[in-house]
Structure 1
Amino acid sequence: MIKKATLLTAFSVTAFSAWAQDTSPDTLVVTANRFQQPRSAVLAPVTIVTRQDIERWQSTSVNDVLRRLPGVDIAQSGGAGQNSSIFIRGTNSSHVLVLIDGVRLNLAGVSGSADLSQFPVSLVQRIEYIRGPRSAIYGSDAIGGVVNIITTRDNPGTELTAGWGSNSYQNYDISTQQQLGENTRATLIGDYEYTKGFDVVAKGGTGMQAQPDRDGFLSKTLYGALEHTFSDRWSGFVRGYGYDNRTDYDAYYSPGSPLIDTRKLYSQSWDAGLRFNGERIQSQLVSSYSHSKDYNYDPHYGRYDTSATLDEMKQYNVQWTNSVVVGHGNVGAGVDWQKQTTTPGTGYVPEGYDQRNTGVYLTGLQQLGDFTLEAAARSDDNSQFGRHGTWQTSAGWEFIEGYRFIASYGTSYKAPNLGQLYGYYGNPNLNPEKSKQWEGAFEGLTAGVSWRISGYRNDINDMIDYDDHLQKYYNEGKARIKGIEATANFDTGPLTHTVSYDYVDARNAIT
């Protein structure tokens, strides 16, 4: 049972019938169906975090931001930069899809789950957080929910910020956004963050000793973007960012043996896109490339010593998304192509591997009087496990003005990660984990309080588990997760409040 109270931007849910006329940029959501729609038209539970929220909360990491959101639990093995996992609505950390500007996070392809402890919070301009199944739109991993971190900013001028705190914490950030002529805009950001950290002492075991030292963190980030408007309807962009992080962590050590207690992460991402924005039709083609090198080593021996480990992955993506206004709604369709390439040793896999995935999806949203209808379907063709289909549907009924009932059903799946497939205990015959989810919700506006209460059930089959006797992974596990989620938003003078309550009952469905 989890209770949380947070400060977030409040929103109105009274505009159900007039959602097509609501064009305020502050209320538009892209992540739910991969086309722009007002938040009041989104049937899935959604939370939006802005850059102003992050600065008001004085959050120093992405995990600090996510901890405030409904249904989210963060497990972290220490302070800044330490390994972390995200859990949504009682599902595994591998059941959360994390996107950066709509493209899945690179290193998640190695471990099967996203670790946002290393991603610089200085790059985050907005977060769109969707709870519930979204595999019918995005493919693998989106069982518990989707977190889309958006780095694009619209903040002309130059800013310099600095911050200091306990444990020798320092942060310096400079950003500038300038017009280059009438149709071109350039953005450049640099960020430096450092802390000595604190000691998280690992208890010594037989033949090993504890390591009493501070666990520091150092991060250097650079971001650049160039946007150009060719005409009233055509525009394009080129964007790139990279970060160089060093993290110290606690480990067991034995005299005379290397002490692996330092992590060095290099990450870079580049993307370019072309957009068409017509009166009724919108289309976008984006190509992206990311490369990450994640070392764990003893600094006395260096990261190229035989005792060190290296996880290295290159990821290539091409996305073509389209939407057209139809009646009182939208229809969206698109194609995703992804290739992931690893070097030998990545994820404890002796050999390097390529994995390719092509997905085709179709989504639709329609307003019919007091009813809002939503549906999506997707087919993925993966080089490892073949073709897999998912679908989902939702319906909302505004039975009284300002009050709505929502019912939804969706299927989703999680593909096995590289270690489970090809590692020392891997099984190349593994199938994806499969999920079926139901949810019902009421939401409305009462006496200035915007609220939502929902109940959900999530049945997950073919869960991947490890067999100690066979010494390999296999598909057998089953889980049933039931939960209740309640959120309320209200203002008191200049303050805006969000209160959330979560109850989760997760059980092994076999026993």
Structure 2
Amino acid sequence: MKRTWTIIFLLLTVTMVTVFAENDHDADRRTVKGIVVDENGEPLPGASVLAVGTTIGAGTNAKGEFSIQLRDDKEQVLRISFTGYQPVEMSVNLKTKPDLSPRIQLQPAPNELNEIVVTGARIERPLKDEPVLTRIISQKDIQALNPMSIETLLQYELPGLQIVYNSMSQLPEIKYQGMEGEYLLFLIDGERVSGEGADHNVDFTRFNMDDIERVEVIRGSQSAVYGSNALGGVINIITKNAARPFTGNASIRYAGTNGQRYTVSAGTKQNKFSSLSSVTYRTRDAYTIGDSEGKATTTVDPDGTTIEEKANASTTTVYGYEIWDASQKFGYAFTDKLSADLKGTFYHNKRDIRGSNKYQDFFIDYTVSGKMKYLIDENQQLSVSYIHDTYKKDKDYFVAGFTRTDYRNRTQTARADYAGTFGSHTLSGGIEGNFEYLKHYMIKDSADASVETYSAYLQEDWKITPRLNVIASLRGDYHHVYHLHVTPKISAMYRPWETVTLRAGYSQGFRSPSLKELYQEYDMGGLGILMLYGNPDLKPETSNQYTLSAEFTKNGLNFSVSGYHNRFKNKIAYASLGDGSQDMQYVNAENAKTTGVEAILQMRMDFGLTVTGSYAYVDDYQEVNGRNTSDVRPHSITFNALYARKFGKIGTHFSLNGQWTSKLDTYSFLTSGAYQWVTYDARTMCTLNVGMTLPRGITLNCGVDNLFNFKDKASDSSLQLPQKGISLFGTLNINLADLIGL
């Protein structure tokens, strides 16, 4: 702990010395004013104006106006951008044109390929130039779906993704193209998320939809700059920043007992300073799913003999919550070259009391993070960052009158990254120290454990020709128990024609056992019938992944198809101790493999209609004693139709979103050593959203979740988060800046 703070202090001290040593020449600055408009000449509030190669930027106000201070001793380039529009760059020379007041008109983008992404290599670049296959869930996609939770958003946007319900913790789990939650690395603004909700999954209720600007997704272990445990992929949630001289919003989403959300935010973006404050209150009631007939199952002993066939009736309760979220962001550009960001968040979840329990669960998290970025020159940058994240679970024994902390996960990460472009080569590298502390009720006597890991990566991005780009990288992870492990990765992008892009990649993944997998000793149910043990002798998991994709883009048409193959070695799973008891232990189980194909088609028509469809096939094989026990549905389809049109000053949109998942037949392994042959039916979910944007920044939406009133069976909850049927919702958003004309 002290060592970490010492490192951070030294880094910040050196940086601040640089700040005061550099003469910023404020007296040599002049103010450039202008206006940004859309294709119809209407103002674009919230457009970004950035002086390229500097930390100086501004946003436009309600009238599309901006004001930015620039040096008058040299020519500079302004980059003007707005989501959904083609970015524009213009040169500014205050010596030759001292009274510059430009009017910039942006044109709609036919697709999202010019959107800037950061997840592949922590380097900003257009999506079309990213060799690592990346998907974006944009703000437009989020608004069209208008979801209550991150799980709903991901399920409708990512084919091959399943949200599972953990009956023990009564919390959701995620599976993405055959990968469970422990293989998916969730990030917020590029930083890891601490804490565990359901088994090996983050607490998804930490993600507040009103704070999310967009989501960037990398499938598999293709990126070298993030955690070694990202064998299945990286999901980076990018949060909102202040985009205008004054930013203010008040929003309500109301669906009665099916969920309510109330948010207020305010902020500013000036020449050097930015700030955004946000507070949200969320609540949802518990509901119960019941089966009158149960689910038909066939139980088979290990030698294949049928023991019994039956259908058991059951119920599943999904418990509600009452959540407060708060966040504060500050940004400041000390000079043209040096900027800093500071962020703090707080999350408090008061969960519904489960059944007749004499206690109530409280989930609490707070984070503090800081980042400083120094632009060495126009082609080189250095950044240092630090984050402290503490997540805990308290039990309030309200009858006995005391509170106990059963779970606490504290992580600290310090990192330094460098990136520089030299001709056709972009070199990047970084070092990272991660310190994790865990107190867990599943460890004997609720004891604690800790681990330190150190990482370094080096990456070469070589643009061999204007049409061929190759990224090669090495990442080394040092674990204080498992020592050093090096993983190579390589990706290539080739564009034989302007309309066709081909990508291929190979990567190795590495995941060391978690502290729970190493040290767990837990009596399930507290009756001594079933013990769950960790295993200090576990070996790390490794993987080899191969990817291949092709993309065709012309005007508003975008079609891509991709394939991948994962092979795992020493995959960690539960297995019986084999001593005649029901006790289980984490072991390095039999090897596993996953193969899949994904296809995405999007068409944008000139009259305002956008149609998107995607299909995923997953061939997941997880063998236990010769039987495939995978619970991943092999086929899934997502689709979206969005119609948006403006009538005078009033904007309208209609959106239909859907998800279909196929039938699944599989074996379920029982603690008794027998197997159950289970069949899960196909499933279709749809949501309809209708909205209207009025003058003065008022937006109204109404919609229907689960449009066709689909009701899950309780016995299916191990495969998906159960839905109880149709739900109506309405939302109101007031943009306070537009309301008062700022």
TM-score, scaled to structure 1 = 0.85
Structure 1 segments of 4+ aligned residues over 4 angstroms from their partners: 9-12, 108-111, 201-204, 209-214, 296-303, 346-349
Shift of 1:90: 1.1
Aligned-pair CA distance for 1:247: 2.2
Root mean square deviation, CA, Å: 3.1
Residues 313 and 214 of structure 1: is their aligned pair in 2 closer, same or farther, counting only changes over 3 Å?
A: closer
Q: 1:449 to 1:430 in 2, by over 3 A?
A: same
Superimposed CA distance per residue, residues 241-288 of structure 1 (whole angstroms, 9 cap, x where no aligned partner): 11111222756x6xxxx466x431110011011111330101111111
- What amino acid maps onto 1:316 in structure 2? Q
1:459 aligns with 2:554: no
Q: Tell me the SS of whatever aligns to 2:447.
A: coil
Does residue 304 (structure 1) correspond to residue 403 (structure 2)? The answer is yes
- Greater shift, 428-437 or 126-135, is seen at 126-135
State the match for 2:268 in structure 1. Answer: 178
Match of 1:188 in 2: 277
Q: Among residues 468, 473, 488, which one is paired with 1:391 in the alignment?
A: 488
Instruction: Go from structure 1 to structure 2 and tell me whether the alpha carbon gap of 1:123 and 1:348 turns closer, same or farther (over 3 Å shift).
Output: farther
Aligned partner of 1:220: which letter?
W
Partner Cα distance (2:205, 2:353) in 1: 13
Distance 1:49 1:303 in 2: 44
* CA distance in structure 2 between the aligned counterparts of 1:433 and 1:312, rounded to whole angstroms: 25
> d(CA) in 1 for partners of 2:170 and 2:575?
29
Between stretches 397-406 and 473-482, larger displacement belongs to 397-406
2:475 counterpart letter in structure 1: R
Match of 1:29 among 109, 113, 117: 117
Question: Corresponding residue for 2:350?
Answer: 246
Matched, 1:341 2:341: no
| Residues 347, 367 of structure 1: alpha-carbon distance in 2 compared, 3 angstrom cutoff | farther
Which of residues 579, 582, 589 in structure 2 aligns to 1:476?
Answer: 589
User: Against the structure 1 CA distance between its residues 168 and 440, is the aligned structure 2 distance closer, same or farther, given a 3 Å change threshold?
Assistant: closer
Contact 2:221 2:508 in 1 (8 A): yes
Normalising by structure 2, we get a TM-score of 0.60
The residue aligned with 1:435 is 543
1:58-457 residue pairs with structure 2 within 5 A? 58-77=146-165, 83-108=171-196, 111-134=199-222, 136-156=224-244, 157-167=247-257, 169-179=259-269, 182-200=271-289, 215-248=319-352, 258=357, 262-277=360-375, 278-295=377-394, 300=399, 304=403, 310-343=406-439, 345=441, 350-369=446-465, 370-424=467-521, 425-446=533-554, 448-457=556-565
The 3-state SS of whatever aligns with 1:125 is: strand
The 1:36–1:213 alpha-carbon spacing in structure 2 relative to 1, beyond 3 Å, is closer
Matched letter for residue 234 of structure 1 = L
The CA deviation at 1:399 is 2.2
Instruction: State the alpha-carbon separation in 2 of the partners of residues 152 and 163 from structure 1.
Output: 18
Percent of aligned positions with the same letter in both sequences?
Answer: 23
Structure 1 distance, partners of 2:262, 2:616, is: 36
Partners of 1:214 and 1:87 lie apart in 2 by 19
| Letter of the structure 2 residue corresponding to residue 130 of structure 1 | I
How many Å separate the matches in 1 of 2:388 and 2:564?
Answer: 37
Deviations, residues 2-32 of structure 1 (Å, cap 9, x unaligned): xxxxxxx9899xxxxxxxxxxx996111111
The one-letter code matched in structure 2 to 1:498 is: T
Q: Which moved more, 1:148-157 or 1:273-282?
A: 148-157
Rounded to whole Å, the distance in 2 between the matches of 1:97 and 1:84 is 16
d(CA) in 2 for partners of 1:55, 1:130:
22
Deviation per CA, 1:302-359, whole angstroms, max 9, x where unpaired?
Answer: 6736xxx721111111111111012235221001111011235366674211111110
Shift of 1:82: 5.3
Deviations 1:182-225 (A, max 9, x none): 52222110111122242246999xxxx98898832211111111
Measure how far apart 1:135 and its partner are: 6.0
| SS class of match (2:158) | coil
The residue type paired with residue 264 of structure 1 is F
Contact 1:136 1:392 in 2 (8 A): yes
**One of 502, 507, 510 as aligned partner of 2:616:** 502
Separation of aligned partners in 1, 2:396 and 2:165: 18
- Asked whether the 8 Å contact 1:337–1:357 carries over to 2, the reply is yes
Q: CA deviation at 1:476?
A: 3.0
Tell me how far 1:108 sits from its aligned partner: 4.5
Change (3 A) 1:213 1:447: closer
Confirm or deny: 8 A CA contact 1:441 1:455 kept in the other structure. yes
Asked if the contact 1:347–1:418 (Cα under 8 Å) also holds between the matched residues in 2, the reply is no
Query: What letter matches 1:351 in structure 2?
Result: A
Contact 1:349 1:423 in 2 (8 A): no
Partner letter of residue 389 of structure 2?
Answer: S
On the 8 A contact 2:276/2:329 being kept in 1, the answer is yes
Shift of 1:458: 0.6
Q: Would the aligned equivalents of 1:11 and 1:489 in 2 still touch at CA under 8 Å?
A: no
CA distance in 1, matches of 2:556, 2:415: 41
Which of the pair has more CA radius of gyration? 2
CA distance in 2 between partners of 1:11 and 1:87 (Å) = 34
Cα distance in 1 for partners of 2:193, 2:343 equals 16
Question: Counterpart of 2:550 in structure 1: which amino acid?
Answer: F
Q: Does structure 2 conserve the Cα–Cα contact (< 8 Å) formed by 1:439 and 1:456?
A: yes
Contact 1:201 1:250 in 2 (8 A): no
What SS does the corresponding residue of 1:232 show, helix, strand or coil?
Answer: coil
Name stretches of at least 5 consecutive residues in structure 2 with no aligned partner.
1-82, 87-111, 295-312, 522-532, 579-583, 627-742
Partner letter of residue 239 of structure 2? T
Check conservation: 1:136, 1:412, Cα contact below 8 A: no
Contact 1:135–1:412 (Cα < 8 Å) also in 2:
no
> Aligned pair in 2 of structure 1 residues 410, 264: CA closer, same or farther (>3 Å)?
same
Deviations 1:122-142 (A, max 9, x none): 222221111121363323221
Can you list the C-alpha shifts for 1:352-383, whole angstroms capped at 9, x where unaligned?
Answer: 11111110001222222221111111001112
Task: Label 1:110 to 1:314 Cα distance change in 2 as closer, same or farther (>3 A).
Answer: farther
Aligned-partner Cα distance in 2 for 1:172–1:374: 44
